[in-house]
């Protein structure tokens, strides 16, 4: 499994020195709480864009743009929390919907992460390019599908 180096590097620490220590120091329960929180951050940012796309609230260009950029900047965060020993059936005390299948098909799980990251990057780029709301709306749908695409395969009902 991969662990992103960015948080360590931003602390100015040597990744080579810190990575194994950090990986061992994190308790499964903490990693699970971390990733669930990061996933909720994404949902919070996506929510209003989904509501605008569905016409439940009025389209607000500025808010939409801010949400799109926020989502693009956090979409890489949850995944390092899927450490070894943190899935369903592993030896920990946390509640998790992360299926054991993630461990058996890690590359499939990574592909779903990539799809999400690409879709949110596209949305952020479209916002920067001042695209029409009709196009943005469709792209919100594509982002939502990339969430669902992973949940259908790798998250418990």
| Torsion (CA) 114, 109, 30, 155 in degrees, nearest 10 | 120
Region of residue 15 (phi > 0: left; psi between -120 and 50: alpha; otherwise: beta):
alpha
- C-beta of 102: minimal distance to ligand HEC in Å? 6
Which residues in the 47-106 window bind ligand HEC by CB under 6 A? 96-98
Q: Is 120 exposed, middle or buried (0-12, 13-18, 19+ CB in 10 A)?
A: buried
Closest Cα partner for 87 from 77, 109, 102?
102
**Residues in 137-156 that interact with ligand HEC by CB under 6 A:** 143, 146-147, 150-151, 154-155
State which residue, 8 or 34, has the beta carbon closest to ligand HEC: 34
Using the contact rule CB under 6 A, the part of the chain among 12-20, 35-43, 121-129, 132-140 near ligand HEC is 35-43
Q: Name which of residues 15 to 34 contact ligand HEC (CB under 6 A).
A: 32
Closest approach of ligand HEC to the CB of residue 35, in Å: 6
When binding is defined by CB under 6 A, the residue of 68, 112, 123, 127 that contacts ligand HEC is 112
Structure-token pair, residue 58: 């009025």
Residue 35 binds ligand HEC, judged by CB under 6 A: yes
Q: 107: which residues sit within 8 A by CB, 6+ positions away?
A: none
Which one, 10 or 107, has the nearer CB to ligand HEC? 107
- Residue count, binding to ligand HEC (CB under 6 A): 22
Instruction: Report, in Å, the least distance between residue 133 CB and ligand HEC.
Output: 19
Non-local (6+) Cβ contacts of 29 within 8 A are: 92, 93, 94
Using CB under 6 A as the binding rule, whether residue 42 contacts ligand HEC is answered as yes
């Amino acid at each position: 499994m991969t662990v992103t180096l960015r948080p360590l590097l931003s602390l100015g620490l040597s990744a080579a020195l810190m990575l194994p220590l950090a990986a061992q120091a994190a308790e499964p329960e903490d990693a699970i709480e971390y990733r669930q929180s990061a996933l909720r951050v994404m949902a919070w940012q996506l929510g209003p864009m989904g509501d605008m796309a569905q016409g439940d609230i009025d389209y607000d260009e500025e808010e939409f743009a801010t949400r799109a950029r926020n989502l693009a900047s956090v979409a890489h965060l949850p995944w390092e929390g899927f450490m070894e020993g943190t899935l369903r059936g592993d030896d920990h005390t946390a509640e998790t919907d992360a299926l054991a299948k993630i461990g058996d098909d890690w590359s499939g799980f990574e592909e779903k992460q990539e799809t999400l990251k690409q879709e949110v990057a596209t949305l952020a780029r479209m916002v920067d390019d001042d695209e029409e709301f009709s196009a943005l709306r469709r792209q919100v749908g594509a982002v939502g599908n990339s969430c669902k695409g992973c949940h259908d395969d790798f998250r418990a009902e």
